[in-house]
Amino acid sequence: MMEWNIGKFKRLFPNLYREIFEMPTIYDHFEICQSDEEALEIIEYFERKGEISKEEAEYLRSNLPRFLFGKRKRGDYARRGLID
């Protein structure tokens, strides 16, 4: 079995590192939103879990990132055959 130094792996493959080791952010969830209501539910959830501050939640509520909505559909990974 081959062992990798995590720091070297992160430098060589930054996008792959993020996909493997980092949790999705609120902005990743906005990409599957289809409406303002869905985005507001996501903001409330992240605020309730303490993953975003009250200030950030208020900012997002007043400035919904609509440009992110609909960039990715639910089930894209399954449709492309990337998961079983």
Q: What is the pLDDT of residues 15-47, one digit of tens each?
A: 888 878 888 889 888 888 889 999 999 999 999
Residue keyed to tokens 């430098």:
11
The whole domain housing 33 covers 24-79
The answer as to whether 4 is a domain residue is no
The answer as to whether 40 is a domain residue is yes
pLDDT higher than 90, residue 56: yes
pLDDT higher than 80, residue 75: no
H or E element, residue 46: helix 36-49
Name which of 32, 54, 34 is nearest 44 in CA terms. Answer: 54
Please enumerate in sequence order all residues whose Cβ is within 8 A of that of 65, keeping only pairs 6 or more positions apart, or say none: 27, 30, 39
pLDDT higher than 90, residue 61: yes
Tally of domains within the chain:
1
pLDDT higher than 60, residue 67: yes
Per-residue model confidence (pLDDT) at position 80: 62
pLDDT higher than 80, residue 81: no
The answer as to whether 35 is a domain residue is yes
